[in-house]
Copies of this chain bind each other. A is one copy, B any other.
């Protein structure tokens, strides 16, 4: 049976929900206060899970210190204290919903993590709203 190992990191960012092909009124109607043109922000909590078999010599599925370093270098460095819409290349044409942020993070990390490990992302936008990709 396989084991899942998880590392939690966090970043603080500004964003707005916005579909550029819609009018401001349509954005306001669909996204409400989340579409504020001056942005709002969140403390995002990011959980990255790898699933695999423990190494016989180390007893690790994956060294979580190494995973933490990878998350910090590839995700936190470009998302923390940033405006997701303006300061990152990912959300020029993609709405930075928690769903889309999770998929972007998964796509970045999937290139860094050996394919013998399954990869899952859980992202808290607030304590009461969170998403998981892929769904269990």
Q: Are A103 and B3 in contact (CB under 8 A)?
A: yes
**A102 CA to B135 CA, complexed, in Å:** 20
Contact partner of A41 (CB less than 8 A), chosen from B7, B13, B54, B60, is B13
Per the 8 Å Cβ criterion, residues 1-60 of A in contact with B are 1-10, 12-15, 17, 19, 30-34, 36, 38-43, 51, 54, 57-60
**A47 CA to B58 CA, complexed, in Å:** 24
Q: Which residues of the other chain, B, contact A135 by a CB distance below 8 angstroms?
A: 1-4, 51, 118
**Quick check: is A114 within 8 A (CB to CB) of the other chain?**
no
Q: Are B54 and A99 in contact (CB under 8 A)?
A: yes
Number of interface residues, chain A, beta carbon within 8 A: 65
Q: How far is the CB of A16 from chain B (nearest CB, A)?
A: 9
Q: Are B99 and A59 in contact (CB under 8 A)?
A: yes
**Quick check: is A115 within 8 A (CB to CB) of the other chain?**
no
**Quick check: is A112 within 8 A (CB to CB) of the other chain?**
no
Q: Which residues of the other chain, B, contact A127 by a CB distance below 8 angstroms?
A: 8, 10, 43
**What residue of chain B has the Cβ atom nearest to residue A128's Cβ?**
B8
**A19 CA to B59 CA, complexed, in Å:** 9
Beyond known contacts A3-B133, A12-B41, A40-B83: 18 more, CB 8 A cutoff: A1-B134, A3-B102, A3-B132, A4-B132, A4-B135, A4-B136, A6-B132, A9-B128, A12-B126, A14-B14, A17-B59, A19-B57, A39-B83, A40-B81, A54-B99, A59-B95, A59-B96, A59-B99
